[in-house]
């Protein structure tokens, strides 16, 4: 229960009181994740499951008079889409394996000076280009997924709160959004790093050929 918002655009402001009467003293909290729901029906511990029906069976009518578990389940099934992120993680893992094939530092004996010198050969150009392509595609997938989830979550949260004006509070998980955008930033850093490396090697090849 909180102070509702009144606006001249509301044709029937009295619906707020009607919803408040239906809600009564319910204090249900529902959290939506990529693969399941978590419900806190009475301010105690959370009940979590990927099956909304099983959660609804453990909650009484007085605890969820507005069917928020069903609303959250519909949101998860119709809007939340984690599979682009899963594909991006797989592509990033393949990129990591390709980067592991890059040659490292090793010592070679210089016949002219008679001393040992540290040498690091250039990585394979085809492997570098494949790694760049994979991490670039992964970055696009992460960007589309995070932007999609962020926009859809804000829209759904705003509508749910407006419909339950005075009785329903909603918001977007800060941790989920921060992790999503931070992951995208890391992918971009890797993409730029590979691109700079490939261009630098190409430039060095040109200079040595001349």
Convert the pLDDT of each residue in 1-31 to its tens digit: 888 999 899 899 889 999 999 998 899 999 9
CB atoms within 10 A of CB 165: 19
Tell me the per-residue pLDDT of 150-185, one tens digit each, with 9 for 90 and over: 999 999 999 999 999 999 999 898 888 899 999 999
pLDDT higher than 70, residue 109: no
Helices (H), the chain: 15-23, 52-57, 68-78, 83-100, 125-163, 174-209
Binned at pLDDT 50, 70 and 90, residue 63 comes out as: very high
Contacts of 17 by beta carbon, 8 Å cutoff, 6+ apart: none
List residues bridging with 48 in a β-sheet: 38
Q: Would you state the pLDDT for residue 167?
A: 92
191 neighbors 136 (Cβ within 8 angstroms)? yes
Q: Would you state the pLDDT for residue 117?
A: 65
107 neighbors 119 (Cβ within 8 angstroms)? yes
Q: What is the pTM of this model?
A: 0.80
Binned at pLDDT 50, 70 and 90, residue 66 comes out as: very high
pLDDT higher than 70, residue 116: no
Q: Would you state the pLDDT for residue 208?
A: 73
Q: Would you state the pLDDT for residue 185?
A: 96
pLDDT higher than 90, residue 121: no
Average pLDDT of 56-84?
Answer: 92
Averaged pLDDT score across all residues of the chain: 88
Tell me the per-residue pLDDT of 23-39, one tens digit each, with 9 for 90 and over: 988 999 999 998 899 99
The angle, 0 to 180 degrees and rounded to 10, between the axes of the packed helices 83-100 and 174-209 is: 40
For 138, counting Cβ atoms within 10 Å of its Cβ (0-12 exposed, 13-18 middle, 19+ buried), the class is buried
């Amino acid at each position: 229960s909180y102070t509702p918002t009144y606006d001249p655009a509301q044709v029937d402001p009295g619906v707020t009181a009607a919803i408040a009467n239906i809600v009564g003293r319910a204090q249900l909290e529902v959290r939506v994740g990529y693969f399941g729901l978590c419900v806190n029906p009475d301010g105690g511990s959370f009940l979590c499951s990927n099956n909304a029906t099983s959660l609804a069976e453990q909650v009484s009518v007085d605890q969820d008079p507005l069917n928020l578990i069903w609303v959250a389940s519909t949101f998860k099934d119709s809007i939340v889409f984690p599979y682009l992120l899963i594909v991006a993680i797989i592509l990033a893992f393949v990129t990591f394996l390709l980067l592991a094939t890059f040659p490292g530092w090793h010592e070679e004996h210089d016949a002219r000076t008679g001393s040992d010198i540290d040498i690091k050969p250039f990585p394979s150009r085809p492997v570098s280009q494949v790694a760049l392509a994979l991490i670039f595609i992964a970055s696009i997938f992460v960007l589309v997924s995070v932007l999609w989830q962020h926009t859809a979550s804000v829209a759904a949260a705003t509508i749910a709160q407006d419909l339950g004006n005075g009785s329903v509070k909603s918001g977007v998980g800060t941790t989920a959004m921060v992790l999503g955008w931070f992951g995208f930033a890391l992918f971009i850093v890797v993409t730029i790093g590979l691109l700079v490396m490939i261009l630098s090697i190409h430039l060095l090849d040109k200079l040595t050929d001349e």
